[in-house]
Structure 1
Amino acid sequence: MSIEDVITGWDGSLVATRYDRETGAFFVVAIHSRERGPAAGGTRVKQYDSYADAVTDATRLAGAMTLKMAAADLPMGGGKAVIALPAPRRELADDHWRRILELHAENLKTLGGSYWTGPDLGTSSADMDVVCGFGAPAFGRSEAAGGSGSSAPATALGVHVAIVASAAEVGIDDLAGCRIAVQGLGAVGMEVVELARKDGAHLIVTDIDPVLCERAAALGAEVVPPDAILGVESDVFSPCAVGGVIDVDVARTIRTRAVVGSANNVLTDTAAGDELARRGIVLAPDFVASGGGAIHLIGREVLGWTAEEVATHVEGIADTLREVFVRSRVGGISHDHAARDLADERLGRAGSRV
């Protein structure tokens, strides 16, 4: 698919791209919606097979952020930034990486405050300190730089809240002994493991990084190869790595009772959600379950909430999911469709489809 195909088939507001010969980096900023306020979403950094793939990722993630902000009832729209690197991040010299962040900040400043960024896959609070230092709007700066720090703990807390609510929906009232399969042991996934471990859950985990797997094993988790996790029998499958994990074929065969994770766009399409519903598998839509990070960043840095107020709003993810589950039962629709309808209503466009 070409960049032209991606953009002409997208329902968002704006896509801005830039290629820099000096650094070899390709930049994308996608603004999906500003209906509830300035667009917001993290900066994802990785290598892509093509620039079209980078644009595709940015546009899909921006749309997901619109849903996430609406589902969490936050006063921001949806956007996303992607930086396609010429080499793995670990191979870039510090000055090379800093120049890329400087260029990224330049790009954001041209948008005049219509898009605010933050940390995402491949970026950190320290990176947001640099971006903000160059004059661009950025959430998630370190506390030392006046920000609210990492959103990962709040994201993980929201996923844990969603796991508890989803488990209850399938008749599991106590996570002790509950089999939870976690895919991805980054900052969020590992925190989910820690929280579920305290509940006494039986954890089956995987990651491409053996060091992270060893750390999880030391916590008592059962480690399986990355290509085996989708075949594991579990009560809850928690995808906390990249999106696009569940297509129709996986939805037909996955051996779990509930899908609850932090990965954005975990379904390849709505048909996968329909198949999960047909099989009676509970889905906590990712744009609801992973909303804790956005609640933390916007709550602390825009709305002036205390840490306690943020935690209360993150716990409210359970109420949103319960509403989604009721809508699904009453309407005879999938959990994915029910959550999208709820987000549409909060966007003031009931009957549309984001």
Structure 2
Amino acid sequence: MGLPEWDGELTSVRHDPETGAWFVIGVHSTRLGPASGGTRAMVYPGVEDAVADARRLAGAMTLKMAAAGLPMGGGKSVIALPAPRAEIDDATWRQILEIHAANLNLLGGNYTTGPDIGTNSADMDALRTLTPHVFGRTTAAGGPGSSAPMTALGVFAAIEAGVAEAGLDGVEGLRVLVQGLGAVGADVARLAAGAGAKLIVADVDPVRRSVVADAHGAEVIGTGEVLTRECDVLVPCATGGLLTPAAAGTVPCTVIAGAANNLLTDDAAAEVLRRRGIVYAPDFVANAGGAIHLVGREVIGWSAEHVADRTRAVGDTLTEVFADARTHGISTVEAAERVAARTLSGGPLR
């Protein structure tokens, strides 16, 4: 397996012939505390792709934890499934979770995990019976429940900060395009509609599209139109990699702020957005509400009210990021990385 250089601390890769699953854990940094990040379970073209995804996401988690002022490092789990999750029987899934728990135990608390794409709070309940290195359980099992509402709250705070940076007078009346209407995207759409936005939505699932459109009077567009439809605010809440440098050069919007991880394919895309004057809220800041909720409630022991306050402060962090980017003539991604770097180098937690 040929893999590129990586600046993280550890990559663990394990294959289980019986289930056909590959298990990858990327620990990027334990500088601020135990590495933390969700478990993603999905089909990948190959194990190299799963490893690359785990490493990329783990690095983003390091930045997210630092920028949010959380006493945790960055990590990520990826389970490369042999078939889509819906096609895996319960017994096989239980076996996959048991192997994942064993891998977590081998790391001895240096990495803790929660839900992500392909896993949920019920899976974390099951894992917690096998390992203590889990958060994000259901409320019935003593956990804080879904992180989606706080993720959405943080994204909406990012939208408001981006709109202010762009010199626009609030969200009311703006065309807000939400791509991806899962638990987070649907809640962001609700918040935007409640603030008076003219909502435009896109999702591969027709049921989710119709539910949100009916609830908020949203206009529905095809997923292939997301990067070409004129709007004021683009809110990507699906998977990452949406904006290549070429796409960044043509996307017709003023502000971009969403929940998707690794939204930009590279730093060049961020520079293109800067040169075009598009306000971009870096994803690892904008979507930090979920981590604040899960880590804050279940690991640190914060109250729900404190978690909500810390999540709304995502907007304050972005105001600082935008100002730094303006002052130094750099992209907002570079400015946000500077905020995280100051914390990682020994600065105060936010």
Other structure's SS at 1:191 match: helix
Q: Describe how 1:1-354 pairs up with structure 2 within 5 A.
A: 3-6=1-4, 9-219=5-215, 220-348=217-345
CA distance in 2, matches of 1:186, 1:103: 28
- Hey, what's the Cα distance between the residues in 2 that align with 1:270 and 1:223? 31
Stretches of 4+ aligned residues off by more than 4 angstroms: none
For residues 104 and 216 of structure 1, what CA distance do their matches in structure 2 show? Answer: 35
Partner amino acid, structure 2, of 1:4 = G
Unaligned runs of 5+ in 1: none
What CA distance in whole angstroms lies between the structure 2 residues aligned with 1:302 and 1:127?
A: 18
SS of 2:115's equivalent in the other structure is coil
How far apart, CA to CA, are the structure 2 residues paired with 1:236 and 1:133?
A: 43
**Cα RMSD between the aligned structures?**
1.1
- 1:221-275 per-residue CA deviation (whole Å, 9 max, x = no partner) reads 1111111111111111111111111010001000000110011110101000000
The alpha-carbon deviation at position 349 of structure 1 amounts to 7.2
Counterpart contact for 1:33–1:79, Cα < 8 Å: yes
Please tell me whether the aligned partners of residues 244 and 267 of structure 1 are also in contact (alpha carbons under 8 angstroms). yes
| Mapped partners of 2:257, 2:276: distance in 1 | 16
Secondary structure of the residue aligned to 1:16 is strand
Bigger drift between 60-69 and 232-241 goes to 232-241
Distance 2:132 2:156 in 1: 33
SS in 2 for 1:302: helix
- Output the CA distance in 2 between the equivalents of 1:77 and 1:32: 7
> Does structure 2 retain, via aligned residues, the 8 Å contact 1:25–1:84?
yes
Q: Which runs of 5+ in 2 are unaligned?
A: none
Contact 1:106 1:136 in 2 (8 A): no
Instruction: Return the alpha-carbon distance in structure 2 between the equivalents of residues 165 and 153 of structure 1.
Output: 18
Q: In the TM superposition, what whole-angstrom CA distance separates every residue of 1:74-103 from its partner, at most 9, and x where no partner exists? A: 000000000011111111111111111111
- Provide the TM-score with structure 2 as the length reference: 0.97
C-alpha distance in 2 between matches for 1:102 and 1:205? 38
**Deviation for aligned residue 1:173:** 2.4
CA drift of 1:135 comes to 1.7
Give yes or no for contact 1:32–1:62 (8 Å, CA) kept in 2.
yes
The amino acid that maps onto 2:153 is L
Tell me the number of residue pairs that the alignment of Structure 1 and Structure 2 aligns: 346
Q: How big is the shift at 1:4? A: 2.8
- Mapped contact 1:43–1:119 kept (Cα < 8 A): yes
What amino acid does structure 1 have at the position aligned with 2:337? R
Which one is further off, 280-289 or 209-218?
A: 209-218
CA distance in 2, matches of 1:122, 1:203: 27
Quick one: which amino acid aligns to residue 232 of structure 2?
D
Structure 1 residue 10 displacement after superposition: 1.0
Give secondary structure in 2 for the equivalent of 1:42.
Answer: strand
User: Could you tell which deviates more after superposition, 341-350 or 243-252?
Assistant: 341-350
Tell me how far apart the structure 2 counterparts of residues 215 and 56 of structure 1 sit (CA, whole Å): 35
Report if aligned partners of 2:135, 2:299 keep a CA contact under 8 Å in 1. Answer: no
